Amino acid sequence: AQKYVLTKYFQGEPKESDFKIVEEELPELKNGEILTQAEYLSVDPYMRAYMIGYKLPTDMIGGQVAKVIDSRNDKYPVGSYVTDSYGWRTHTICDPNKPRLPGVMPLTRVPDISPHPISLALGVLGMPGNTAYFGLNEICQPKAGETVVITGAAGAVGSHVGQIAKILGCRVVGFAGSDEKCDYLIKELGFDHAINYKTANIQAALKAAAPNRVDCYFDNVGGEISHTIMSYMNKYGRVAVCGSISSYNDLKLPKVTIMQPAIVFKELKVEGFLVNRWTHRWDEGIDMNLKWIQEGKLKYKEEVYHGFENMVKALNGILRGENTGKAVVKVN
């Protein structure tokens, strides 16, 4: 087995030299345990943000889809697939029946979703998919006819949020980092408007795209753009604060932006959330998202990197915006 161990805190962009790849001998399986081999590893923005809270050296965290290659547990036979937070490692032994702490996401058996790839269990049918489903429905509570704005709109979570908002009958405006991504949002996913935040005048473009102003804002990026959007909201607007990727790699202190006047005068409801708030409803999100895929209402795209040795490259890919949709690494 091989695993990534983080040995240095990230300074700016993550570097290969922040990690060591370590060989590990795995023990014999005990009753109830399974041995899995990673097929797809996930790279997610939270990896960049969270590692600061860990004592070093530490095993790198992250979700994976893995194949059961040895089993002493009848519910997980050899050849079946599971998804779990095993981290950046090739092989893992675990006991699926061991109780989890509250809020820790469950190990899940990946159902047969062919012709769709099993890697969807890391994306649209996994953690990012449930982030979109619960974050939008529970925090923003959009109603038909309302205007929903999303930043990070071409990514795993954002592209999904926009499509759910369209299913609910909303007007949807997305912000993304290239003209190609904006084209994809409008032509493939049915967004009403998409704005390239790197080239547009944000305020003017937002006014043109959302003449009735903004009722719901799904915030994936934070920073100045969020200030502009929140200042352009309707009274009693709802803001789901999902992430703040614009600051994750920032070595300098972010510029202070005063959001409070917009929050007070528009009487906004602003709520941060972590998707594991809904671990007890996990299957509901997965089932709904799968149903929408099967009905052709929810589309997905994946950015597939190849090779266990390319994990850092893939992580930097999402931080730089190389991906449209969910980025995953196919291990071999």
Provide the binding-site residues for ligand NDP, judged by CB under 6 A: 44-46, 128, 131, 152, 154-158, 176-178, 181, 220-221, 242-246, 273-275, 318-319, 321, 323
Q: Which is nearer to ligand NDP, 10 or 76 (CB)?
A: 10
Point out the residue whose Cβ comes nearest to ligand NDP. Answer: 155
Provide, rounded to whole angstroms, the least separation between the CB of residue 134 and ligand NDP: 9
Give the integer Cα–Cα distance in Å for 300 and 113. Answer: 14
Provide, rounded to whole angstroms, the least separation between the CB of residue 190 and ligand NDP: 18
Q: Which is nearer to ligand NDP, 234 or 276 (CB)?
A: 276
DSSP codes joined into one string, 52-118: GGSPSSEEPP--EEEEEEEES-TTS-TT-EEEE---SBSEEEE-TTSPPPTTSPPPEEPP--TTS-G
8 A C-beta contact, residue 303 and residue 317: yes
Q: Which is nearer to ligand NDP, 66 or 275 (CB)?
A: 275
8 A C-beta contact, residue 61 and residue 87: yes
Nearest one of 98, 103, 97 to 76, comparing CA atoms? 97
Q: Which is nearer to ligand NDP, 110 or 176 (CB)?
A: 176
DSSP codes joined into one string, 12-44: SS--GGGEEEEE----PPPTT-EEEEEEEEE--
Q: Which is nearer to ligand NDP, 36 or 131 (CB)?
A: 131
Provide, rounded to whole angstroms, the least separation between the CB of residue 127 and ligand NDP: 6
Provide, rounded to whole angstroms, the least separation between the CB of residue 122 and ligand NDP: 10
Nearest one of 34, 35, 31 to 1, comparing CA atoms? 35
Q: Reduce the DSSP state of residue 212 to 3 states and report it.
A: coil
Provide, rounded to whole angstroms, the least separation between the CB of residue 85 and ligand NDP: 13
Q: Which is nearer to ligand NDP, 64 or 246 (CB)?
A: 246
Provide, rounded to whole angstroms, the least separation between the CB of residue 278 and ligand NDP: 9
In the numeric block, which tokens belong to residue 310? 């390319």
Residue 256 DSSP one-character state:
P
8 A C-beta contact, residue 15 and residue 313: no
